[in-house]
Amino acid sequence: MSMSTPSAATSTASPAPSAPVTDLPDSGARDRTGELPWIEDAGKVAPRDARTLSKLFFDQLQVLEEGTREHQYARNTLIEMNQSLVRFAASRFRGRGADEMEDILQVGTVGLIKAIDRFDLSREVEFTTFAVPYIVGEIKRFFRDTTWAVHVPRRLQELRVELAKAKEHLALLLDREPTVAELAGHMGLTEDEVVEGLVAANGYSAGSLDLPTDGDDAGPGGAGRTYADTLGDRDPAMELVEDFHTLAPLLSTLDARERRILEFRFGQELTQSQIGERLGVSQMHVSRLLSRTLAKLRTGMLTEE
């Protein structure tokens, strides 16, 4: 897994370590960053300073037009300034081993980026409080999706580990593989519980779909068919059916302008500035209307669940 963290633009001057935030050196730098301070190396900003600066950058990020260099500078600087949150969240998973820490940090950065893109100052909550659950959740999702080939309950995941230890211990004592009854007696479980654990353990790893089937059917070029050739495709749109079903009646509760803004933003993929031009209002007003409308729909969907 490989992912590079976005980095903010840098100038030619090298900043003093004690003063990472500098005055804008010229009008060109001011054009690049708008009303924001110029930060030479956002990754070196102390966590306490990062919390203060993040509020300023989030405030400007809400009014800067997406796709501009100013917007990119603000977003990238927020990502670099808050890398300490990723390291803090990743420290909870040190027991996974040093070889996995690089992946954990990269996945945690994905969670940080999601938090930055979804954070709203109007929530009146500290960004650190908002971001850490996103980062930890992304890391846990990574382990869930990569550790077990098939998701099973945590109880059975833990049972698999205990079964492995018991099988190894009894195999040394008996000089053969232990039976289900012997495992059950050694672990103080019923035979049904042992069987359930053994079956669940099969979900820890999976064979490749590119392995050939047992049949003699030959495919193009004389090659045998693989398991993947025998499987149908899954329609990814099916996962959205339930969401659409819940969202449809909520859309009917919106007024005409709210529905029009949603159509412009998500149907025609217009920027907030373009929407403002069509409606004759400012980009900031569009941002507020869009946030309010999405919050209304989100609340309605959560209530429906």
The pLDDT of residue 99 is: 64
For 110-130, what is each residue's pLDDT tens digit? 999 999 988 887 777 888 888
Whether residue 208 is predicted with pLDDT greater than 70 in this model: the reply is no
Whether residue 262 is predicted with pLDDT greater than 50 in this model: the reply is yes
User: What does the alpha-carbon distance between residue 96 and residue 89 come to, in Å, rounded to a whole number?
Assistant: 13
For 269-281, what is each residue's pLDDT tens digit? 888 889 888 888 8
User: What does the alpha-carbon distance between residue 273 and residue 271 come to, in Å, rounded to a whole number?
Assistant: 5
The pLDDT of residue 221 is: 47
Band of the pLDDT at 109, cuts 50, 70, 90? very high
Mean pLDDT of 277-302: 87
The pLDDT of residue 209 is: 55
Count of Cβ atoms closer than 10 Å to residue 146 Cβ: 12
Using CA atoms of 203, 205, 206, 211 in order, give the dihedral in degrees to the nearest 10: -150
Whether residue 282 is predicted with pLDDT greater than 80 in this model: the reply is yes
Mean pLDDT of 17-27: 40
In CATH terms, 21-147 corresponds, of 3.30.110.30, 3.30.460.10, 2.40.50.140, 1.20.120.1810, to 1.20.120.1810
Instruction: Give span(s): CATH 1.20.120.1810, the chain.
Output: 21-147
Q: Residue 290's beta-bridge partner residues?
A: none
Residue 3 · residue 110 · CB < 8 Å: yes
Cβ contacts of residue 284 below 8 Å, gap of 6+?
62, 63
For 154-193, what is each residue's pLDDT tens digit? 677 778 778 888 888 898 988 898 999 999 999 998 988 8
DSSP per-residue codes, 116-131: HHH--GGG-S-HHHHH
Residue 106 · residue 93 · CB < 8 Å: no
CATH topology of domain 251-304: Arc Repressor Mutant, subunit A (1.10.10)
The token duo for 117 is: 């893109």
The domain over range 154-229 is classified in CATH as 3.40.710.10: no
Q: Residue 224's beta-bridge partner residues?
A: 218
Using CA atoms of 9, 12, 18, 20 in order, give the dihedral in degrees to the nearest 10: -20
Instruction: Give span(s): CATH 1.10.10.10, the chain.
Output: 154-229, 251-304
Q: Closest by alpha carbon to 120, among 244, 288, 280, 279?
A: 288
User: What does residue 38 show for φ and ψ, rounded to 5 degrees?
Assistant: -90, 125
The position carrying tokens 């090298």 is 14
The position carrying tokens 């009146």 is 124
